[in-house]
Structure 1
């Protein structure tokens, strides 16, 4: 999908273009060799457990709501207008702890295999299958107890 297919100013979900990944909706906006970007629609109570990327840095620009962010054993809150960078190889995660959804523009650089992974994860309901498919695409989830300070 190119930027021409999705206006940058459109931050509403398009159900036909979005992937459902364990309760999150990911709508791609840029897919190139250098960068892959998506809008993440994250309902209250959802989370992405600690994981690392084998080949890319990850960034977030928070559009709405609050993200509780985990990076290498520490937690912090990001709100609308904040930007975040998780370096390649870092152990990171996020949670939505408020009663309101959060929305952010996420991107990785280089693009790596995330576009293919999200397509494979669409509507997969088994978390163990998500972990296995992710590993094959260079996304590595921590095992319980391997993430200091993660609760």
Structure 2
């Protein structure tokens, strides 16, 4: 039906515009567990970041209880754990991880991986990345993540992780 005359238009908090290649929205770039995350979109309903993943890096099994997460693979092959199954995704593939689904991703290839990740709603993931930047203590990563609605599964829970 479209917008009717006199109808109020609700505008969210997503700023219009373009985030140029090679730039981060809000100049936010993080080093998280060896990955470089570059913020691309941030609002209350959506948060997206470019993930540059060196060979041999990954994020162990975890759950976002209140966020859907997606990965659009741009370069490389990602090994993924999705709710009890191991699989792979390559360039052009989109990975869907509904809220509450245990998942993990690893770059087990010889070369770097590159992917666009996003979550909806944003939750407090950007604030978590602020706290994880340059942190290298895995126990502290798990502790801080739990305070920001990202729950890591106990080590040994997922075979092959």
- Give the TM-score taking structure 2 as reference length: 0.85
Long gaps (5+) in structure 2: 1-13
How is 1:35-114 mapped onto 2 (pairs within 5 angstroms)? 35-114=46-125
Partner SS, residue 76 of structure 1: strand
Long gaps (5+) in structure 1: none
Q: 1:19 to 1:60 in 2, by over 3 A?
A: same
Match of 1:31 in 2: 42
Q: Which has the higher strand share?
A: 1
Question: Is it true that 1:20 corresponds to 2:26 in the alignment?
Answer: no
Partner SS, residue 55 of structure 1: coil
RMSD between aligned residues: 1.7
Cα deviation, residue 146, structure 1: 2.2
Partner SS, residue 132 of structure 1: helix
Count matched residues.
146
- Check the 8 A contact 1:73/1:150 in 2, yes or no: no
- Check the 8 A contact 1:59/1:84 in 2, yes or no: yes
Question: Is it true that 1:150 corresponds to 2:152 in the alignment?
Answer: no
Larger RCO: 1 or 2 (CA < 8 Å, sep 6+) = 1
Could you list the runs of 4 or more consecutive aligned residues of structure 1 that deviate by over 4 angstroms after TM superposition?
none
Counterpart Cα distance in 1 of 2:99 and 2:139: 23
- Check the 8 A contact 1:3/1:29 in 2, yes or no: no
